Amino acid sequence: MATSSSGSATKAISLFLKDIKSEFRTRYAINAIAMFAVVTVFAISFAIKGTGLSTELQASLLWIVIYFSSLSGLAQSFVKEEESKTAMALRLYAPAEVIFAGKLLFNLVLLFGLNLITIPLFAIFISFEVASYPLFFAILLIGSTGLAVVTTFVAAIISKASVKGALFAVLSFPLILPLLVEAISGTKKAMTDGIAFGAARMEIQVLLSYLVIMVVLSFLLFEAVWND
Amino acid sequence: MTIDGLAKEFPGRPVFSDISAVVEEGRRLVITGPNGSGKSTLVRILCAFNRPTRGSVGFEIDEKKLTHLEIRPHIGLVSPDMVLYDELTAIENLSFFAEVAGHRFEIPELERRLENIGLAGRGRDFVGSYSSGMKQRLKYCLALLREPEILILDEPTANLDERGKGLVDDIIRSHHGIVVIATNEKAELFYGDQFIRLGD
């Protein structure tokens, strides 16, 4: 017989595990993200032909690749539910906050997986060198989390639209621009020799503030977006 | 369940208007009408998936009034618009939806329920490999999983063979709460205690 269980966290983890299982069986998002990351890094590598790039350019290229790779895959979490008509059952059985938390968790894992592919490729093919690893990973962690929050929320908005791809880029870019600017600036500092962790305090503060605002807004607004 | 002056319009096209009904526990409401008359739209409004243009739907369970979102945990839905995950097995589908709804079922219990619905021994097959009739049976299994007070059936016997139709007959007749049936099948009109005829 049924036993009543679980708070929202347990339910969100159930949704996350379902998405992981579905993803490994269908390869819906992983392939898109991985291919985009690999192709863009190789394209950049061939274009620069061993020419040394400035730290500004390397940091910008890294975040551009992460941003566009995430656009190609992270929207799938909601788009797939709508296109395969499973969203209706999900709406009926799962509370809105559980759905957002579960999808966010899944997108975070995808995005960190993307980082695991992109950064070694950058190090090998673009001669990307980090001077301060603690700073670099702090920026990467906060920046990627912010990116996942915004793309997850925007993915829910565009999932019912007919021109999803274009709309996703148009809606997400203005929201993500402040994050990209600070993440690029922080990454550039992490690549500069002799820079202390505290030198990027401003970037970290802005990224953290951005993350908190986006998490709060997303959880507050998601129910209206998902149910209307 | 109280439906009060319900109307739905899509841009430039009224679907239905001035629908009212009060349905008590133990009663069966049949929604009927030609294709495109708004049966499925009305079902979606009852489940709080769509908002009406005018009017309201209210629910009261154990003398407590529920908002349109609060009613969802009390609804079991079978509809052609509701699809389960093809890439999961039947048991994985049932476990997942039970868990996100806050329930936990042991696998033998789920297997027993699948057996009751005519899917014995198929619980570990991917739903993508099911026939349309088997998928319809699985939707019944899911709809009944949390013993809902309101059972909403849109085209209840679609894709089912005679044995499947017999199962649906048992389910409808043995349900103690409200049953809402949206159908065009003459044989299913006989279930109704109350009727809403759309497209008249």
Nearest to A6 among B77, B85, B99 (CB): B99
pLDDT class for A161, splitting at 50, 70, 90? confident
Nearest to B96 among A10, A18, A228 (CB): A18
Give the tens place of pLDDT for each residue, B24-56. Answer: 999 999 999 999 899 999 999 999 899 999 999
Tell me if B83 sits within 8 A of A80, measured CB to CB: no
Give the tens place of pLDDT for each residue, B15-32. Answer: 999 999 999 999 999 999
pLDDT class for A2, splitting at 50, 70, 90? low
**Angle separating helix axes B107-116 and B90-100, nearest 10 degrees:** 110
Using the predicted structure, report yes or no on whether residue B161 has a pLDDT greater than 70: yes
Using the predicted structure, report yes or no on whether residue B61 has a pLDDT greater than 50: yes
What whole-number percentage of chain B has pLDDT above 90?
A: 86
Give the tens place of pLDDT for each residue, A4-28. Answer: 556 889 999 999 999 999 999 988 7
Residue B17 structural domain = 2-197
Using the predicted structure, report yes or no on whether residue A165 has a pLDDT greater than 80: no
Mean pLDDT of chain A: 89
pLDDT at B199: 84
Number of folded domains that form chain B: 1
Q: Considering only CB atoms, which chain A residues are within 8 Å of B81?
A: 85, 88
User: Which residue type sits at A61?
Assistant: L
Mean pLDDT of chain B: 93
Bigger pLDDT: A31 or B44?
A: B44
Measured in degrees and rounded to the nearest 5, phi and psi for residue A177 equal -50, -50
Give the tens place of pLDDT for each residue, B77-121. Answer: 999 999 999 999 999 999 999 999 999 999 999 999 999 999 999
Residue of A28, A93, A160, A223 for testing the chain B interface, max B β-carbons within 10 Å: A93
Q: Is B64 on the interface with A (CB under 8 A)?
A: no
Mean pLDDT of B121-133: 96
Q: Is B79 on the interface with A (CB under 8 A)?
A: yes
Copy the structure tokens of residue A90: 């999900």
Interface A–B counts its CB contacts (< 8 A) at 84
Q: What is the DSSP string of A126-180?
A: S----S-HHHHHHHHHHHHHHHHHHHHHHHHHHTTSSSHHHHHHHHHHHHHHHHH
Fill in the DSSP letter of residue A228.
-
The answer to whether the Cβ–Cβ distance between A22 and B92 falls below 8 Å is no
> Taking the domains of chain A in order of start, what are their residue ranges?
8-227
pLDDT class for A34, splitting at 50, 70, 90? confident
Nearest to B103 among A4, A92, A228 (CB): A4
The answer to whether the Cβ–Cβ distance between B104 and A89 falls below 8 Å is no
User: How long, in residues, is chain A?
Assistant: 228
pLDDT at A49: 77
First to last CA, chain A: 34
User: How long, in residues, is chain B?
Assistant: 200
Q: Considering only CB atoms, which chain A residues are within 8 Å of B97?
A: 89, 93-94
pLDDT at A159: 85
Bigger pLDDT: A70 or A19?
A: A19
pLDDT at A5: 53
Nearest to A11 among B79, B99, B105 (CB): B99
ipTM above 0.95, yes or no: no
Q: Is B27 on the interface with A (CB under 8 A)?
A: no
The contacts of residue A1 (CB under 8 Å, 6+ apart) are B105, B109
The contacts of residue A117 (CB under 8 Å, 6+ apart) are A34, A37, A38
The answer to whether the Cβ–Cβ distance between B99 and A88 falls below 8 Å is no
- Looking up tokens 């052609």 gives B80
Residue of B67, B99, B135 for testing the chain A interface, max A β-carbons within 10 Å: B99
Q: What is the CATH number of the domain that holds B139?
A: 3.40.50.300
* Residue A117 Cα, gap to closest chain B Cα (Å): 26
pLDDT at A14: 96
The answer to whether the Cβ–Cβ distance between A2 and B105 falls below 8 Å is yes
The answer to whether the Cβ–Cβ distance between A88 and B82 falls below 8 Å is yes
Using the predicted structure, report yes or no on whether residue A1 has a pLDDT greater than 50: no
pLDDT class for A75, splitting at 50, 70, 90? confident
Using the predicted structure, report yes or no on whether residue A46 has a pLDDT greater than 80: yes
Nearest to A93 among B85, B86, B101 (CB): B101
